[in-house]
Structure 1
Amino acid sequence: MFDHAERRRRLFEVMRAEGVDLLFVGLSSDLEYLSGVERGIPFFGQSSYPHGWVAGGFFRPDADPVFVLPRMVVVFDLPVRPEGDIVVVDEADDGSAIFERVARGLGARGTVAVGDRVWAETTLELGRIFGLDRLQTGSSLVNRLRRVKTADELEAMRRACRTVEHAMAAVAPQVQPGVSMAELREEVEAQLRVAGSLTPSFATHIFTGMDPDSLDSGAPTARDPLSDGTPVLFDFGGVVDGYCSDFGRTIVAGEPPDGFVAAYEAMLAAFEAGRTACRPGALAREVNAACREPIEASGLGEHFRHRMGHGIGLDVHERPFLSPEDETPLEAGMTFTDEPSIVVHGSFGLRIENVVVCAEGGARVLNEYPNDLVTNG
């Protein structure tokens, strides 16, 4: 589906321009992007194999990649063999010696870049082999390529958006007095699987606010029953073909509290202002400021406590960020979340989140689920 050879060709252009002879990336979204080596489904804790630190791939301009992988990864975690050479490290092998032999054999004489998602031991070994002064961070090189999505990538992200929309449609009617956040979370994740999501793209979060006594799927109040007239905030995502969605809506169990409807209208205005500002040439911080402006004008600015959004793709959070410190000029085809929220302590919360694509005239929205306020009266 994805042209990994073309991705590597573009990487090599960046490496040559930056004077980088060799790039090593571990098992990560960067490696999947460049080679098709899929990541496993995340889980609590860390799996470990003998010589696990060697796992990854070396990339150098105009050559096939060279992968160094523990035997257990090759046998159990590599359903499709990637293009390039694979050096297998057995449990009884001298992993350090094999890794050094492969690394030195690639002939790098200048800068060696190291991906962000590698073991500390890997970086120390590369420093020993090449000299620490020759190392630099490498994921920024790949991020330049990953920021702008191709048509195939956008189609995968659309499918990931459909999984969350299916789940939201199934779960929304269940937001009734007496339901718990844990029950809603369990149903959301079950419906994601029904819709074809490989896994949640991050920990599903369903909550009523940010006060200590608020109901929250990740807190001790997860099993407490919902009261009538309480808004429930949803934040969850799905994964299709390696690409993520990140989605949010607010559903009210009954009639909304005082001030809620006006706040919801301000939030929708913020969403639209951010979407309209998300166009090529705009700075990321400017788009964030545009999103904030309607909420500030409504007098609720102090209750919008985070940024407008973040890049999204193979990872649910990617650079650049739509936030005050980010000076990145946007390009057509970059993908972001547009997620204004208002959380008033001791009163109510509300949020919305869609995935948008930077475009001339304002971003296109990949989601199809309505933004309208839903009340289950």
Structure 2
Amino acid sequence: MDSRLAAELPVRRERLFAALEASGIDALFLPPSADLEYLTGVERDLPTFGEISYAHGWVTGAFLVPGSEPLFVLPRMFVLFHLGGSEPGEVVVVNETDDGEALFRAAAARLGRARRVGIGTRTWARTALELQEALPAATFVDGGPIVAVLRRVKSELELELMEVACSIADEAMAATATRVTPGVTMRELQEDVEHELARRGSRTPSFPTHIFSWRGHDSTDPSGLEPIANGECVMFDFGGVHAGYCSDFGRTIVAGEPPEGYLDTYAVMLAAQEAGRAALVPGATAREVNAACRGPIEDAGLDAAFRHRMGHGIGLDVHERPFLSPEDETVLEAGMTFTDEPSLLLDGGFGVRIEDVVVCADGGGRRLNRLPAGPIPGT
């Protein structure tokens, strides 16, 4: 872990403890997650299609109690193979032949007379049930929203790391753009993008790379093996990861000659992105910023083609709250990070999209991406 991030961990936990006490929560249990990484530095594993598990895997996580260091409960194989044998602090190690339930309950009993206990939003059901057995007098609540509020305003260091993640995406797009030609397949472009991300240091794609087009009513074939036609508008949606922080990026490139109306539609999309960015100031609500983004699209009579929201929070997770969408009334603060990603999908026509990461700031959102937003010429 970056030593500078490690130095922020105690401060983050102090903020958490203050939030727990203000909410009347005595303790918080977190499984492996962005929340646990944010507060303890224990890095999440790379995502896989199938679930990886060990004996007593359900115990994996940490108890966080105001005034104390985190208490981890971890299977032996998690310590050995996921943490390289290095214990992250005070740890109850559960071996394969141990009584996992007894050890987990003993660890929970160290919370004392905890009356209200928060549980991370994505805690396994088995773990939650065992917690109820271990602490029968306690009331359990979703602790995820408390940590989410702490995470949504980024420190200067976090913004610096996110800017690196954005630059990785910028460079991957620039390296791939000239490969968008009639006859190439979406699968080939996906492989190119992910190769370019990896060679620039991205730990993993921040979400499944999505490269697609809109042929008047739906996306191209799910296999991605159909050759791209001349004049097809290819939309990119991908991101990289640096020091645990995500980028989320998008551009549209035409293979060959653009279709009629493409440049005018692209100009509307750019105007929408800029209107949303300009509205991203402290004190605005998330829904107001989304409405500002929609304005130029509605003015152009293309509101039916705007099937998305302006964007979403982003950081250690690629999708974080708040969302820049009609239902979200969150009042924004300086240092919150969002995607600015208007897209237009025209019935009977084509699609265009763009996406950058922006930081809420006085005078309007500050872009963390550097690749120009204008149309990228295809070949």
Question: Does the pair score TM above 0.5?
Answer: yes
The one-letter code of the counterpart of 1:264 is Y
Residue deviations 1:133-163, cap 9 Å, x none? 6000011111111000001111110110111
CA offset at residue 166 of structure 1?
1.2
Give 1:213 shift: 6.6
- Aligned with residue 78 of structure 1, among 80, 83, 92: 83
Structure 2 residue 359 is matched with structure 1 residue 357: yes
Residue identity in the other structure for 2:186? M
SS in 2 for 1:20: coil
Deviation (angstroms), 1:371: 0.4
Amino acid at match of 1:227: A
SS at 1:117 equivalent: coil
How far apart are the structure 2 equivalents of 1:360 and 1:165? 25
Aligned to 2:151: 146
What is the correspondence of 1:223-242 to structure 2 with a 5 Å cutoff? 223-242=225-244
Contact 1:35-1:82 within 8 A present in 2 as well:
no
**Matches of 1:64 and 1:283, distance apart in 2:** 36
Residues 166 and 368, structure 2, Cα contact 8 Å, conserved in 1: yes
Matches within 5 A, 1:149-298: 149-209=154-214, 214-216=219-221, 219-220=222-223, 222-298=224-300
List structure 1 segments (4+ residues) > 6 angstroms apart after TM superposition: none
- Which consecutive unaligned segments of at least 5 residues does structure 1 have? none
Contact 1:22 1:108 in 2 (8 A): no
After superposition, residues 291-330 of structure 1 pair within 5 angstroms as 291-330=293-332
Distance in 2 of aligned mates of 1:233 and 1:108:
55
Q: Distance in 2 between matches of 1:298 and 1:81?
A: 58
Residue 343 of structure 2 is matched in structure 1 by 341
Cα distance, 1:104–1:119 mapped onto 2, change above 3 Å: same
1:80 deviates by 7.8
Instruction: Quote the offset at 1:108 in angstroms.
Output: 3.9
* Equivalent residue number for residue 142 of structure 2: 137
2:133 is aligned to: 128
Q: TM-score with structure 2 length normalisation?
A: 0.96
Q: Shift in Å at residue 129 of structure 1?
A: 2.1
What percentage of residue pairs aligned between the two structures are identical? 57
State the 1:230 CA deviation: 1.2
CA distance in 2, matches of 1:131, 1:291: 49
Kept in 2: contact 1:64–1:83 (CA 8 A): no
1:276 deviation in Å?
A: 0.6
Q: Is 1:64 the counterpart of 2:69 in the alignment?
A: yes
Answer with 251-260 or 191-200: which moved more. 251-260
- Counterpart AA for 1:111: R
Q: What SS is found at the alignment partner of 2:204?
A: coil
Equivalent pair of 1:335/1:355 in contact (CA under 8 Å):
yes
Q: Is the 8 A contact 2:274 2:293 kept in 1?
A: yes
Write out per-residue CA displacement over residues 209-265 of structure 1, whole angstroms, 9 at most, x where no aligned residue.
16677435xx03x11111111110000000000000000000111221111111111
Matched residue pairs, number? 374
Question: Which has the higher mean CA deviation after the structures are superposed, 106-115 or 58-67?
Answer: 106-115
Instruction: Give how far 1:107 is off.
Output: 1.2
Q: Are the counterparts in 1 of residues 115 and 138 from structure 2 also a CA contact under 8 Å?
A: no
- Between stretches 351-360 and 252-261, larger displacement belongs to 252-261
**How does the TM-score come out when normalised to structure 1?**
0.97
Q: Deviations over 1:244-296 (max 9, x none)?
A: 00000001112211111111111000000100111111110110111011111
Q: CA RMSD in A?
A: 1.4
